[in-house]
Amino acid sequence: MKNLLLNPKVGIIFMVPGSNETYRVTGSAAISTDPELLKRCEVQGKLPRVVLRVSVEEAFNHCPKAFVRAKLWDAHARPTGAPTHGDFAASRDGKDAAYAKDYNEQYAERLKTEIY
């Protein structure tokens, strides 16, 4: 977020899970610790440390062609040989293929307890 202190201009693309709908917003962002804004972003009793407040300059729907072609929300469309979270973690942590396999197998369970 340090870059926002130098240049607050942002471009955000919102992807709607399970849908090919996408929306694009451009504007200026500011980092906020406003308790009311933090409360609006509470998940499972946990508040974020900061939020981004965006002053919208442009907002429009975005062409979903790339998402449709990529089958973005279709887990079965994953390209053969595409790196997994485990492959990334193994490379990052200097580990082997067994580490990557274990990481991938435990991923769904970790999400339940670690995502928030």
Q: Are 78 and 104 in contact (CB under 8 A)?
A: no
- Please give the average per-residue pLDDT across 57-62, as a whole number: 89
- Note whether 27 and 10 are within 8 A (CB): yes
pLDDT the model gives residue 50? 96
pLDDT value of position 78: 77
Mean predicted confidence (pLDDT) in 24-50: 95
Segment 64-75 shows an average pLDDT of 79
pTM score above 0.75: no
Residue 44 has pLDDT above 80, yes or no: yes
Give pLDDT, residue 1: 81
Q: Right CATH number for 2-73 from 3.40.50.1000, 2.30.110.10, 3.30.1360.120, 3.30.70.1350?
A: 2.30.110.10
Domain extent listing, the chain: 2-73, 83-116
Q: Residue 53 pairs with which residues in a beta bridge? A: 30
Instruction: Report the phi/psi class of residue 114: left, alpha or beta, with left for phi > 0 and alpha for psi in -120 to 50.
Output: alpha
Cα dist from 107 to 15, 101, 104, 112, 115, whole Å:
22, 10, 5, 9, 11
Q: Band of the pLDDT at 61, cuts 50, 70, 90?
A: confident
